[in-house]
Amino acid sequence: MENGSDGFIRIADDVVAVIAGLAASKTQGVAGMSGGITEGWAKRVSGKNVTRGVSVEVGQVEAAIDLRVIVDYGVKINEVAQSLQENVKETVENMTGLSVVEVNVKVEGVDFKEENLNEEKSVK
């Protein structure tokens, strides 16, 4: 990103990942983020705070985001995924000024909360 003759602005990948992760976690129907085995190892080996379930590629004016999520049981997964894409794209673009070219969502699990299972039993 250029800022006229004043210099150069670069937003770190980790900053975009944090913004995307927070936006994702606030999306209705998303139970949580999935870190996967690779991230778990990276955290143990490097000691770094790896943003769970979020991978980003940030260029000078564009960003691409990959999300690995766990959804709540009983939701329409396609609707949650579309809402997730919209929320993350809008939030990252508004906060950073970057153009988000894609938000890829991989649903890696379903969260079966006790309360959801109890509600279903009482309905039957």
pLDDT-derived band at 117, boundaries 50, 70, 90: low
Longest dimension (CA), the chain: 67
pLDDT-derived band at 103, boundaries 50, 70, 90: very high
Check pLDDT > 70 for residue 122: no
Burial class, 24, CB count within 10 angstroms (exposed 0-12 / middle 13-18 / buried 19+)? buried
pLDDT-derived band at 121, boundaries 50, 70, 90: low
pLDDT in tens, 11-26: 999 999 999 999 999 9
Residues 53-65 have a mean pLDDT of 95
pLDDT in tens, 2-57: 555 788 889 999 999 999 999 999 999 999 888 765 444 444 444 443 488 999 99
The domain 13-123 is placed in CATH, from the list 2.60.120.10, 3.30.70.1350, 3.40.50.970, 3.40.50.300, at 3.30.70.1350
The angle that helices 77-96 and 13-25 make with each other, rounded to 10 degrees, is 140
pLDDT in tens, 79-100: 999 999 999 999 999 999 999 9
